[in-house]
Chains A and B, each alone.
Chain A
Amino acid sequence: MERTIRVDRPWSWRSFFLQWEWLLVLIFLAVHVVNSLLSPYYFNADTFLQTPMSFLDKAFLVLPMTMVIILGNIDISVGSIVALSAVLMAVAYNAGLPMPLAMALCLAVASACGLLNGILMTRFKELSSVIVTLATMIIYRGIAYAILRDQAAGGFPAWYSALGWDSVGGIPIIVIAFAACAVVFALLLHRTSFGRRIYGMGSNLTASRYSGVRTDAILLTVSVLTGLMAGFTALFLTSRMGSTRPNVAQGYELEVIAMVVLGGVSTSGGKGRMAGPLLAVFIIGFLNYGLGLVNIPAQVLLVILGLLLILSVLVLNLRFRDRHPRTPPATEIAGP
């Protein structure tokens, strides 16, 4: 007689809704409520459609950073990649290259920077991702400074500003682009074997390697994707500013990492979902905007964001404290 032993918990509505991402949805709604109460300028179509334009440029970085952190790594060079690719695009355009080609150059340079990160990490496995990206962070921005010095570079064609400022059918172009990238990354992470392997590598790198997973190739791919998205950020940021300098996108890396960890992705690797950081992007973006509408001083906002980060993780930990799925003793599994 066969008996099936159930080792995992049965699915329930309660366990479904007690996930981290639903808590983020609640916070997201709460942010809108609080903002609407605070200022009469908040609750209108403009806010929901137009405001994302101002914070979505760094959101492109959140997508690959989620993968990087699930892998158990970190990448603090993204801001510098943005700066270098933007600077090279501007310089190339002003040297005569047609704008579409300059934009392609921007993406190419950014991807190359990401590729270099990946090569360093795979060839020198003794080095942690922190030290590699720390060094490249300084190098990439240093090259940008060496190229552009104390000048700004701009003078882009009029249509270029449309990227960061205009809408199509009422929806900003940047929102459309971001949505497309978000869908692609979510599919990559949750519906492909590539994504599964990322989780595996994050949980246990050695076991993955011994199981035949091509860890180097995956790490390289993620690094290139990080660079590519930094290129997108550069395109949209430069469009928003109409010009670029070597000091753009400073501090972006910490902001992006904060969004990813707020989204429930654990830095120890192997855990987290794409939905979380996506919600976190909008939470922080709208919170910033809403509090700014009532002219809250920047330092107070800093404290609020810091507290939000800590409190949300505290709540998360409190929730998980007593739901430890224990493996049943050996006798039960073996069966009668």
Chain B
Amino acid sequence: MSGAAPIPVEGTVRRAAPLSESFRELGLLVFILLLCGLFQLGNHNFLTLGNIRDLLTNTAILSILSVGMMMVILTRGIDLSIGSIIALAGMAASMTVSAHRDIHPLLSILEGVAVGTACGALNGLLIARFNVLPIIATLGLMNVIRGGTYLLSGGAWVSSYQMSDGFKAIATGKLLGVSYPILIAVAINLAFVYFIDHTRTGRRIYAVGSNPDAADVSGIPRRRIIWLVYTIMGALSGLGGVIWAAKFASAQSDSAVGFELSVIAATVLGGVSIAGGSGKVSGLVLGTILLGILNNALPLIQVSPFWQMAIQGAVILAAVLTNVLVKRNNQRSALQRRVI
């Protein structure tokens, strides 16, 4: 650990522990700061309060879902069905609001979360109880749930005028100048930090992903943990779905198609290992912010829109490589200082 004093050995050089050892994702953080600087040069309106508020509001849904995805990936799983769950939950909540205009927005949120939880529980059932591989179960359910959304709505949309103001305020309302989606995202992230780092179940999630067989043998209820993880992912997707419908004031059966890829990107960018068992929330938050910055800043800089995609890919690759190189440097210096 960085706190241990290295034993001086004849002929070695005493070097201080690099900062990156105490903050694993330092490489990513520096990269993000540099990127912000570059974007600010491209458009002076980038680092304004208004734009940052827009950025954070647009990234809120991504953040909520990436919390769930991190837990899933920690257990060596993956969830491709979240886009479809967003669509289904949003559609269900919107259709209810459309039919009963005076329903309280909190009930709408609850409805969305309930729908999402049911879908997530189904995922968990297939994966934990029936041993279906996560990629297959969630890929299959992705199609089934998307089809279900279409059948539920009969192909119709729910538009802005059919939604109550209260419902739409879920996304536009503010408390002390901060919009609700940002507050919800922050609350979820804080709850997640507490859960994953300071509760027994949270630590067990790491254990299950790190070494499933050892976890089994140690008496950790592996199947229940895996089922729990997918159910939570579903619940968070449901929540995201309601916010999505409120934010865009529209619910359609092809909402959030392909969104799962953004969520996975945000999670993996932040250093959560796809092999399971390792990853920190700090990295997750950084990964999400990086993606949010890209989505927000690329339309701002005066580069041809046809270059947007290529730039986005290049930045993601650069961010990931930078992180790897910093970690390698980290390990090498730790080795040199004989710190284990």
Contact = CB atoms under 8 A, between A and B. Distances in A.
Interface magnitude class on chain B = 35 or more
Contacts of B310: 138-139, 142-143, 145-146
Nearest to B319: A135
A201 to B, nearest CB: 15
Contact of A307 (B136, B140, B150): B140
B96 interface: no
A310 B269 contact: no
A47 interface: no
Interface in A301-336: 302-303, 305-310, 313-314, 317, 321
A168 interface: no
A258 B261 CA distance: 16
Interface stretch (A12-20, A155-163, A185-193, A261-269): A261-269
Chain B interface helix/strand/loop/mixed: helix
Contacts of B312: 138, 142
B223 interface: no
A305 B317 contact: no
Nearest to B331: A126
Contact of A306 (B133, B140, B265): B140
A254 interface: yes
A306 B131 CA distance: 17
Most A Cβ at <10 Å: residue of B135, B140, B261, B265 = B140
B311 interface: yes
A138 B140 contact: no
A48 B4 CA distance: 71
A131 B274 contact: yes
Given A134-B265, A135-B316, A139-B313, A268 B148 contact: no
B327 interface: yes
A293 B131 CA distance: 35
Contacts of B132: 310, 313-314, 317
A87 interface: no
B141 interface: yes
Interface of B: 80, 126, 130-133, 135-137, 139-144, 146-148, 150-151, 253, 261, 264-265, 268-269, 273-275, 304, 306-314, 316-317, 320-321, 324, 327-328
5 contacts: A131-B265, A142-B314, A267-B136, A303-B143, A317-B130
Chain A to chain B: the 10 pairs with minimum beta-carbon distance, closest first: A142-B310, A306-B143, A138-B313, A139-B313, A142-B309, A303-B147, A310-B140, A128-B274, A135-B317, A309-B140
